[in-house]
Structures are given as structure tokens and as C-alpha cells.
Structure 1
Amino acid sequence: MRSRSLLRFRPARSVCRALCATLITAAAALSTGLAAPAPSAAATTDDVVSSHWIGLGYNQNPQPPSGTSWNTADWNRMVSRTGYMKPGVVRVMFNLPWFWSGTDAGGTYDFTSAAYLNAEKVIKHYVDEGVPVVSGLFGIDNLTYTSPNTAAVQTRLVKQLQAAGAAPAYWVGVNEPNVANGSKSYTYADWQTATTALASAFATAEVDTTRTVISGADSAEAGISSYGGDLGGQTAPECNSGCNAALVWKLAALNTFTAQIYADSATDTAITFQTSLDGTVWKNLAVAPPTPVALVTGKDGGGMWSYTYTASGITGSKYLRLSVASSTLEHSIGSMHIANNSTTIEDSLNDLAQTQAGMNTGTWKGNNSWWLRSAQSGLLRASEAHFYGQELYGADPAYVEPVMDEAVSQIRLATLDDPVLLGETGTKALQYPDGSKDYRFALDTTQPLRMADLAVQEARSGVDGAAAWCLDGYSSTTFCGMWGRGNDDPDKVSAHSTALRPWFYTWSLLTRYLPSGSVIHAPAEPTGVRVLAAQLPGGGWTFVLVNRTSVAQAVRLTEPTGWITLNKYLYTDGATPTTDANGFPTKVGTVTKNFTSGQTLTVGAGSVLVLTTEP
């Protein structure tokens, strides 16, 4: 059983990286389907990230952009472009009608349909190339999520793929089960039931779990896009009449506090505060109601509105209690700051270590994240979830690494030797009331910076791999990818265009030059600049610098490289990058340096600089 104190009182990240890297690398070698990074001098430096790096990749629609089956031209174009990218991981999901039709009572399989064969062909291509594939199901119309038949249908598909030499490395079940879809809405308990049934079906059918492991929970982790603390903080669940949930903090002579709360309503009145000198007799504390701030993440993130309560001049108190009165709404506690004249307690509610849990008068969940809870369940061999940055909604791009670092560190404690993956990642699209999304950002020249920024922060946080959403679109109204498929903005590219969009440039460099087995480093960063270093499996190096500021920035790097010559690639927002006839990046020069004793690199304003020893 995990000690709660480990969640809060762990070593500083730089120290943890140095101490943990060797342990996690060794553990990774024991996990099926993962190659541990080669030992290197880099493992002794204090900026090593505790991960077993698999790499960056993308989500791919396995159906052809035109026609019912892949034609030679479309197939060769896809193979050429993805071959240049050299992805570390690819996510290819199935729609149920491609291979099965029926109900809970039974159904019919068709593994000869064009749609199924298209998907099998795409997955087999990556398996033959040695690229691990994440797979599962989009939607389960006419099926009950928790029924044994649903598990049986998935198992039959996996067996068919394995027999065809197209075994996905990670099977994640049903896409985003924690997100309501039409009339269907599932609980975490439903996920446990469904996943237990899937494991049983795998065992009965003798699925080769050295080739395909059950992973997940494939959940949409919107909460970590907006909350302080870890994965949403402590959550008070829905209460019945008369329910009163509370948390208590203890600090002698406390006189001020600031609490951050998330709630489902813009007129929430369920939160109250009380103080006590002895922890027995309580009196209400008058706290001015704060102005709620709307959160773009919405209800699926655990709360639509943020409230920041503050109070000062408190006297005669040793205990502070935060109470949630009877309410049908969900409330999440993001953080608590409490102080007296000499002492300050900062409780981001990563656990209950600072909170007087013994005085908890209600039922509080330690965490409402399916990602973390599924990692702790013992049902999985890989932890996998979805994360989208909130930059288009006005969030500071730099928030990603702190929240992801906290999330990943806790997942590592739950499942040290298993991969930690982001099955989908990218920029959260603006969404309209009818549910449609605006993907015009995928066409603009800033998207290459956003995606490189996101990738660097995720890699620094310790994830093992991340798959961008998406490669080439999913429908005529979802032009989310790096090229083609979808009704693009006619002023920029034509509908269903095969033209490469700007963000292909930076993402392809990152997938290509941060290969599986690299040892990831997180050097110190100037404000507004993201920095990543990686020692490659063959001993070479890649450096990635992303400058989100409006002026050139100097970055000091000290890594044990010896003398190396680096190929230089540069993307600058608003400028046309250098490419070859295929649209693939070409180098703009070389840099020869010895970083062992420290060297300074300069990256221009609004630019991504990639330097690599690889050709």
C-alpha cells in the first residue's frame, strides 16, 4: 500500500530524476514490448527525466482519404510521410461497424469488409516497422459497456489482428469512457466491471499478452487542464439531503486563508467555513462570496466555475473547516493557503497529508481521475489517457509541465514499471453548443510552436510517449491533422488537400529525432522558453528549444556530450521553413560544440530550434 506521505514529501524533481532514472530504466526492461534506454553517461546528470521513453507519434484514421480501399497513390503518400516521421507510437482505433454488427444478445463478425481490411493493413504496416500501436473502439452502439458480450467482441477482434500479424501493443477498450456520449454515460465502477470482463475474456481466448496488453483507462483528463493540485484535487461527491462533507486544517493562531474551489454553478452557495479553538466547538466564519470565474473545460472537467475564497483578521482559532452543505452539485477543492503571523501552510491537496483526515465529517474521494485510479486498479499493463492544452482558451502555455509532472509522478508510484502514455494530445479546439469543433487553428503558422511547446513539456514531465491528434483528419468537418481530409479553410488550402500543414514541420522533427530508447533531460529554462535534451540510443544527441517570447533568447546548456556536430532545423512563426520537394524539413546549417562544460545557444523570437546529431 502506498504511503500518503510519499505523494507530498518526495525529493525535489531534479534529485528524483537522478535517483529514479536507473530504477525505472531497469524496470522498463522487464515490461513486455518495451526496450530500455541504453546506459549512458547522461544517466548520472541531475536533469535526467524518470521515464522509459517510447516516443512521439499521432492518431491515424486507417480509412483511405478517397474511395473504399487504399489506392496505390494514397498509400504510398502516407507511407512516405510517416516513414519520414519515424513515429514512436501510433494510435489506430476501430469503429464497431467495420467488423461487427449486432446487439448484446449476439451478432455477426465480418473480417472481410473493406473497412476492416483497411485498418488491419495500416496497423500491420506499423507492426512490421516495429512501431507500437495503441488501439481500441470508438463507440459501442447497440451494446452495453459492461456486458460480457462487449468484452467478447473486443477479444475476437484482437485475436483476429494477432493472427494477421497486426497485433496492437496496447488495447485500451472503449474510447473516453468517462465522457458522456449522447444517452450513454459511464461511471468508474462501470470501467472496472468492463475491464475485468475484458481481462477474463482475454484469458479465456488465450490472447497473447506478450504482444497485446490491456491498457487505459483511455480517459479524457480535462481536469488536469484547469485545476491546481493533482488531477482535480479532493472532490466532494454528490450528496443526499442532510449530507455535510468537510475538511479541516490545523494551525495555531491562524489569521488568514485563501481557498480555491471549483463548482458546477455560477451561483454556488454550498461552501461555508467554520473555525474552532479546540476542534469540538465550531463557529461560522463570515467570508465574502467571491466572483466566480468561468472555466472553459466545462462540467466534464469536474466543475464549470472557479471560486477563490479569502479571509483575514481571524482570531481565537486553531482549526479551519471547509464544509460542503447538502448539494446535488460536484465540488472540487483545488488548494488551500493558511497562515498565522509566522507560519504558512500551502496545501495543494495532492493528498490528505496536510489535512486533518480524522476530523473529516463526510465522504471525500481522494481523487476523481480515472487515469490515476485505473493505474492503481491492478487491471492494466500500461497507463494511458488523453490530455489537451488550453492555450486557445487563454491559459498560460507554461501550465502544462507542472500539472503533468504532478500527475505522472503519482501514476509512477501506482505502477512503476509500466508505460505511461498520452493516447491523444494536442490543442483543445473551440467547441460550439451543438458539439461541433473549430479546427481552423490547425492551419495557422503558430500551431507548430504550440505543438512543440506541448511536446517538450510533456516529455519533461516524465510521460513515456504521446500521440498527437491527429494525422490526416477523421471526417469532412474535422480537419484536425497535418494534411488532407476535411473541409479546410478555402483561403488557405483546398478541401481534402494533400498539402502539408505548418505543424507537420515541427511535429515530424520531434517524432523523428526523439526516438524510442532516448534518455530525456530537462535542462534549466529561461522564462517563456521550453528546453529539452535527449541522449539518443546510439549515443548521439538532440536538443529542442521553443521560444514563445517576442525576442531572441539565449539558453545555457550543460550536458555530457563531448565534441559533437549537430544538424540545425529552424521554424519561425510567419516565415517559410526550408523543405525538400516532398515538403520534409531540411537543415539550415550545422553547429559543432562541446556541451560538457556548458555552451550557449540562441533561439529567435517565436521559433522552434531543433539540433540533432542524426541525419
Structure 2
Amino acid sequence: MRPIVSKIIVSFWLVTTVISCSAVPDATVAVDNTTIINANYIGNGVQWDPYQLDYGEKQLKISSEDWQKLYSRLDFMKPQFIRVMINTTSVMESGVLNETKNYENIAPILEYCQSRSVKVVLGDWGDRMVNSKTNTISKQHLKAAAEYLDFLVNKKGFSCIHYYNMINEPNGFWSSTDENYELWKNAALYFWSEVKVLKLDKKVSLLGPDIAIWKTDKVDWITNSVKDLDHAIGVYDIHTYPSKITVNSGEYTSILKAYKDAVPANKPIVMGEIGFKFVEKEDEALLKENIARAKAKPYASVEDSQMFVYDYVYGSDMADALIQTVNAGYSGSVAWMLDDAMHGKEEKNKLKVWGFWNILGDEYFGAKEEEVRPWFYSWSLMTKYMPSGSQVHKVTVDGNQNLKAISVSKEGKNMIAIVNVSSQDLKVNLTSKDLPVLKQVKKFVYAKGKLKLEGDHIVLPNETSLKLDLKKNTAATIPAEGLLVLTNFDY
């Protein structure tokens, strides 16, 4: 009887497979491998600043074990692009640069980036670089910033520093420039003149204008920067903290394109910071929940925390934002931010809770805070498998606006990612007329209850050794508020 039973099982498997493949999909995802959106992607990464360490009640130090934990977690992510911001005034004494002051705080970050060939944006937050009340720049502090850059690049050999960001978000009322473009321009030009005196201009270029935007009303900062500073700017950038509704609806793409279109064709634009804030009326309930969670957290800043970093949905939302950024022609994205322990707000022990973790959880903030939060895994997959130098291909998604997708390749290896921001599983037909058959494909599924984890921070593929032939329609299910990553990059 055993052969008959086997035939019945095989027949049943064939029937159910045909039924599932022939079911009407919610959408079609089509990869156009012949149309290149971006021929040389810089890469994705994260903001990693020197740690605050003085938390009012207590002065802390990051142990060698914690540095190793940070390195191991980042090694899984494989960041290609990291932004590091300081105040030059923190390495000055009596108005004079002291190159070695606080060096132990920045050195481990730059040493990691140097050893892993990570491109670094170094920059100054803007403290005392300008005086918005008198509308003047501080040549003293700008000169010191250039000299400190020279110290790090030439004397310490940190060739990983490719770009310099002069003054964070200069278009904001919260910035030292107080929204004054001319003041920022003058500071950037003077700083660049000092960079040239030190013969650093062949090693480092400016990144700017580094503006924070929510709509398309700040494009003039890009057009003016092109007119006044294109000779010094190697990479243009903006920051976005969109509302969930803005991103999930797809409106985010049109906003991004307005800034991309203002950049010269021969220069890249990147997302210098990206995170979510619930600023639109449709997200009012989320804003209230965010505030309530922050108030309930002993060390969370109520004014500046994103408490949904503890939820899987933040990972799928960040993937949605990244996918739209990539498809809009941007060349990289820096997530805000790596670690809660980097920045305080309001009071020294009230932290900006935005990170993948708090590395000082065991020491002070609560052991559970040191654990990896879900969005680390989605951002890591989208960073690890978009290596520097990747080509980005055109992808069309028809049938459901809750789905977005990207396709990238490098040296014969590929990655396809599809995100579903709806509250239900969605079925797609994945197709391509010209993508070659992909072998040894790994399948990763990011969603609550779907991740396959190992140890402290490693995501394992849900399936391995798959063969992907998109010339034949391929069915796939994307879980609710989830991300599917298919790749044959062999790491």
C-alpha cells in the first residue's frame, strides 16, 4: 500500500501547488533589470556619534566588552555609510584646539569605520560656528574645525572620512544659523577655504545643505547650494522625519523627487538622517501613544523619542521609507540612530530614545535596554545586501499601494526586497523579462513571529539554496507589516 499512498501525497502536493500559484495575487512586482535607476549606490548605514557618558546622576564609561558588542552587531549589518557629528568646541580649551581632548570617545568609532572601509560623514553640529543674532561667522571656530579634520585625516590616518557636514539642519529655527541660508553659506565657504589651505580638498568634500524637510517648500536650499557651493559639495543631502501616513501612502516619493531633481545630474544626493515623527493629523493617535510611552519610561525624553522602536512595525515602516528613497534615485540613507546612550535631551539622564538598543543598559538604564530591538533586523537586511557600488534597477508594483519593492545587483549578485505596510498578508506575483535565473537564493522574512534569530543579533534565512526564475511568474506572500528579502549575495 505504501507506493499508492506516496502517489496520493504527490498528487495532492501538485494540486495544492497549482491552486496556490494560480490564486489571484494582490499585486504584481515586476523587475526591469535593463533600466538602471542608480549605477553606483553609496550604501546605507546609521548615525553613530561619540557617547554622552555624563548622565547627571552618574558618569559612565563604555567597557571594552560593550565596544566589542557594538562591533559585532554592526558587523552583521555591514554599514557602508556612517554619519558622525561632534561639536568642535568640545575639543577646544580657552579658544584653542586641543586635538587629543576627548579623542578616546571618537577613536573607537573611526577605527571601526577605517577597518571596515565604511565611508564616513564627519561634521559639526554648529555650536558657536556662527552667531545668528549678529549675523556673523566665527572664523576662529571654523578654522579649528578644519584643523581638527586635518588631525583626524592626515595625522591619524582616518581616510574613511570622505565628507564633512558643516552645521546640522541649518534651515531650522533650532539650528545655530536660525534658518539663515546666507549665514550657513558664508560659514561653509570659509570652512572650505581653510580645508583648501590644509590641502584636504583632494581627500574630503562637503556634504550639504543637510536641511530638515517635511514638504517640498525648501528646495531653494538645494538650488542655492548648487549655485554657490557646488565646487565644494561632493554629495548633497537632506533629512526627513516623515509621518507614517506620508510614507505608507506613497506621498513621500513625490516629496523626495522634488529635492533629487534639483541636484546636478553628476552629483549624488543621500538621506543624511531618516526617522519617523507623527506630525500629520491622521497619525494623531500614534503621537498620543508615543508621548504616553515616553512618559512611562524613566529615561526617555518626552520631547524627542520614538517609542515605536520597540515594535516590529517601525522596522517595516523604515523599510518602506528606505525603498521609496532608493527608488527616487538617492544614493544612500543614514538611519537616526544607532544607540540611545549617545544623546540626552532636556535633562542629562533623559535620553533621545531612537536607537537599536542602549549599550549602557546593564550599567545604568536597565539590562533589557541593551537588547537588540526589532527594527535593527529590517534595517540590517536592507543595509547588508545593498553594498557600496550596487546598481539599482527599476521595479514596478501594480495592484496595491501598501506594497513597495526594490531590486539591486553587484558583480552578478542580486537582492530583491518587498515591504508590506498593511495589516494583512498580501500575495504577489514576482516577475521579470530579463533578470537571469538566480541560484543559491536566501529568503529572509521580517515580521513578528517570522524572524529566525541566532545569538545576540544574527538573523538567519528562513530558507536557503532556492532557485529564482522570474521569467516564470513566482508567487510570494509578504506578511502583514513585514519585509521579504531575497538575495544570492554569498554572505
Q: Which residue of 2 aligns with 1:548?
A: 421
Where 1:427 maps in the other structure, the secondary structure is coil
Which residue in the other structure is 2:140 paired with? 149
Residue by residue over 1:477-511, the C-alpha shift from the partner in whole angstroms, topping out at 9 and shown as x without a partner, is 211011115899x9xx9467210001011001111
Aligned to 2:268: 419
Quote the Cα distance in structure 1 between the aligned partners of 2:129 and 2:468: 61
Matching of residues 112-131 of structure 1 within 5 Å: 112-113=100-101, 115-131=102-118
- Report what 2:211 is aligned to: 219
Alpha-carbon distance between aligned partners in 2 of 1:76 and 1:64, rounded to the nearest angstrom? 19
Counterpart contact for 1:43–1:519, Cα < 8 Å: no
* Equivalent residue for 2:456, pick from 582, 585, 594: 582
Q: Please point out which of 379, 384, 398 is paired with 1:512.
A: 384
2:243 to 390, 399, 404: 390
Displacement of 1:70 after TM fit?
Answer: 4.1
Q: Is the 2:241–2:277 contact (alpha carbons within 8 Å) kept by the matching residues of 1?
A: yes
Q: Which amino acid aligns with 1:389?
A: P
**In the alignment, which residue of structure 1 is the partner of 2:251?**
399
What is aligned with 1:564? Answer: 439
* 1:10 counterpart residue number: none
The aligned residue for residue 16 of structure 2 is none
Distance between the aligned counterparts of 1:43 and 1:216, measured in 2?
32
Task: Provide the C-alpha distance between the structure 1 equivalents of 2:377 and 2:204, rounded to a whole number of angstroms.
Answer: 32
Contact residue 80 and residue 387 of structure 2 kept, 8 A? yes
8 Å CA contact 1:521–1:533 kept in 2: the answer is: yes
Structure 1 segments unaligned to the other structure (5+ residues):
1-41, 224-230, 233-366
Task: Give, in whole Å, the separation in 1 of the partners of 2:122 and 2:368.
Answer: 25
Q: Which has the larger radius of gyration?
A: 1
Q: Are 1:421 and 1:466, in contact at CA under 8 Å, matched by a contact in 2?
A: yes
Shift of 1:45: 1.2
Distance 1:142 1:45 in 2: 47
2:19 maps to what in 1? none
Counterpart of 1:384, as a letter, is D
**Is the CA contact 1:386–1:423 (under 8 Å) kept in the aligned structure 2?**
yes
* SS of aligned partner of 2:144: helix
Give the residue type in structure 1 aligned to 2:315: P
Q: Matched residue of 2:233: which SS?
A: coil
- Report what 2:65 is aligned to: 73
Q: Give the corresponding residue for 2:22.
A: none
Give 1:523 deviation, angstroms.
1.2
Q: Is the counterpart of residue 501 in structure 1 residue 490 in structure 2? A: no
2:338, 2:79 → 1: CA distance? 11
The Cα shift of 1:128 comes to 2.7
Correspondence for 2:24: none
CA distance in structure 1 between the aligned counterparts of 2:367 and 2:224, rounded to whole angstroms: 42
The TM-score with structure 1 as length reference comes to: 0.63
CA distance in 1, matches of 2:175, 2:405: 42
Shift of 1:147: 2.8
Counterpart-to-counterpart distance in 1, 2:471 and 2:92: 58
Aligned equivalents of 1:486, 1:443: Cα separation in 2: 17
Give 1:135 deviation, angstroms. Answer: 1.3
Contact 1:52-1:419 within 8 A present in 2 as well: no
Q: Secondary structure at the match of 2:270?
A: strand
Give the whole-Å Cα distance in 1 for the aligned partners of 2:354 and 2:252: 21
**Which of residues 180, 188, 193 is equivalent to 1:195?**
188
Q: Hey, what's the Cα distance between the residues in 2 that align with 1:183 and 1:146?
A: 10
Would you say the 8 A contact 2:316–2:481 is kept in 1? yes
TM-score by length of 2: 0.78
Structure 2 residue aligned with 1:338: none
* Percent of residue pairs identical: 23
Amino acid at match of 2:233: L
Q: CA RMSD in A?
A: 2.8
> Could you say which residue in structure 1 is the equivalent of 2:4?
none
Show the counterpart of 2:14. none
In 2: Cα distance, 1:201 partner to 1:466 partner: 28
Q: Read off the aligned partner of 2:111 and give its amino acid letter.
A: K
1:92 maps to which residue?
84
Match of 1:60 in 2: 48
Amino acid at match of 2:272: G
Once the 2 structures are TM-superposed, how far is the Cα of residue 185 of structure 1 from its aligned partner?
1.5
Note the alpha carbon deviations across 1:132-167, whole angstroms, 9 max, x for none: 001111231485362322320210111011121224
Instruction: Give the secondary-structure state (helix, strand or coil) at the position aligned to 2:333.
Output: strand
Query: In structure 1, what is the Cα distance between the partners aligned to 2:275 and 2:80?
Result: 16
1:598 to partner: Cα distance: 4.9
1:435/1:584 CA distance change after superposition, 3 Å:
closer
Task: Quote the residue 1:604 is aligned against.
Answer: 479
Contact 1:525 1:555 in 2 (8 A): no
Q: Which amino acid aligns with 2:443?
A: K
Match of 1:439 among 298, 306, 311: 306
Q: How does 1:470-485 map to 2 (within 5 A)?
A: 470-473=337-340, 474-475=343-344, 476-484=350-358
Structure 1 match to 2:297: none
Paired position in structure 2 for 1:139: 126
Structure 1 pair 75/395, CA: closer, same or farther in 2 (3 Å)? closer
1:594 aligned partner? 469
Structure 1 residue 370 corresponds to structure 2 residue 205: no
Q: Please state how far the C-alpha of 1:184 moved relative to its aligned partner.
A: 5.6
How far has the Cα of 1:561 moved from its partner? 2.1
What is the SS of the residue equivalent to 1:497?
Answer: helix
With a CA cutoff of 8 Å and minimum separation of 6, indicate the structure with the bigger relative contact order.
Answer: 2
Q: Which residue identity is paired with 1:373?
A: N
SS in 1 for 2:369: coil
- Provide Cα deviations, 1:533-576, integer angstroms capped at 9, x if missing partner: 1112x21111101012223221322142224231011012x325
Residue 141 and residue 148 in structure 1: after superposition, are their counterparts in 2 closer, same or farther (change >3 A)?
Answer: closer
Q: 2:33·2:394 contact (CA, 8 Å) conserved in 1?
A: no
State the aligned residue count: 416
Q: How does 1:73-472 map to 2 (within 5 A)?
A: 73-102=65-94, 107-113=95-101, 115-141=102-128, 144=131, 146-162=137-153, 163-167=155-159, 168-181=161-174, 185-207=178-200, 209-223=201-215, 231-232=216-217, 368-377=219-228, 378=230, 379-391=232-244, 396-411=248-263, 415-428=264-277, 436-472=303-339
Tell me, what secondary structure is at the counterpart of 1:418?
coil
Report the alpha carbon displacement of residue 169 of structure 1 after superposing the two structures with TM: 0.7
- Contact 1:58 1:87 survives alignment (8 Å): yes
Specify the alignment match of 2:7 in structure 1: none
Give 1:501's aligned amino acid: R
Query: Structure 2 vs 1, CA of residues 212 and 523 (structure 1 numbering), >3 Å: closer, same or farther?
Result: same
Give me the whole-angstrom Cα distance separating, in 2, the residues matched to 1:563 and 1:487. 42
Please give the alpha-carbon distance, in whole angstroms, between the structure 1 residues aligned to 2:129 and 2:149.
Answer: 20
CA offset digits 1:380-438 (Å, max 9, x no partner): 121122112211x6764421222212321231xxx222231111112126598x98223
Q: Distance in 1 between matches of 2:197 and 2:438?
A: 56
Output the amino acid matched with 2:485.
V
Contact 1:85-1:508 within 8 A present in 2 as well: yes
In 1, Cα distance between equivalents of 2:175 and 2:254: 33
Specify whether residues 494 and 560 from structure 1 end up closer, same or farther in structure 2 by C-alpha distance, changes over 3 A only.
same
Q: How far apart are the structure 1 equivalents of 2:437 and 2:163?
A: 38
- Give the letter for the 2:221 counterpart: W
Q: Distance in 2 between matches of 1:612 and 1:483?
A: 27
Q: Which amino acid aligns with 1:514?
A: M
In structure 2, the residue matched to 1:529 is: 403
